[in-house]
Amino acid sequence: MPVLPVFSPRNQSTPPPPAPPLKPGRDEGEGAVVVERQTQKTEPPRLYQVLLLNDDFTPMEFVVMVLQEFFRHDLDTATQIMLKIHHEGRGVCGVFTKDVAATKVELVSAASRRAGHPLQCIMEAA
């Protein structure tokens, strides 16, 4: 059976001794430098919109698939965006930070090349 330590007043830590009193006539801040804390103003990261551009060769079904797979749109929303791209020449797929937007552009462009479609994906400041 293990032996437990016995509690005694000697086992307690003692508080540190008090600081010596200041000498009379001496200024507390003599020789001290006071630095004022400046508040830092941080701005949220800039946002970029990822756009698909219309062409006459990429099938509409492929555009809908890209919108669902890479931008997580449901079928109805993806179809609406695809029709906007078809009729207006371009459509916003999503708004992201710069790194995420650049990654999405590269993923969509690579998938388009693999499938043999000329679909163009770009990003621009929102």
Give the distance, in angstroms, between the CA of residue 23 and the centroid of all CA atoms in the same chain. Answer: 55
| 31-58 per-position pLDDT tens digit | 778 788 888 889 999 999 999 999 999 9
> What average pLDDT does range 88-98 have in this prediction?
97
Q: How is 34-66 classified by DSSP, letter by letter? A: --PPPPP---PPPEEEEEEE--SSS-HHHHHHH
Evaluate if pTM is beyond 0.75.
no
Please name which of 34, 20, 31, 119 lies closest in space to residue 69, comparing C-alpha atoms: 119
Q: What whole-number distance in Å separates Cα of residue 57 and Cα of residue 119?
A: 8
Using pLDDT thresholds of 50, 70 and 90, give the confidence band for residue 115: very high
Round to whole Å and give the CA distance between 14 and 99: 55
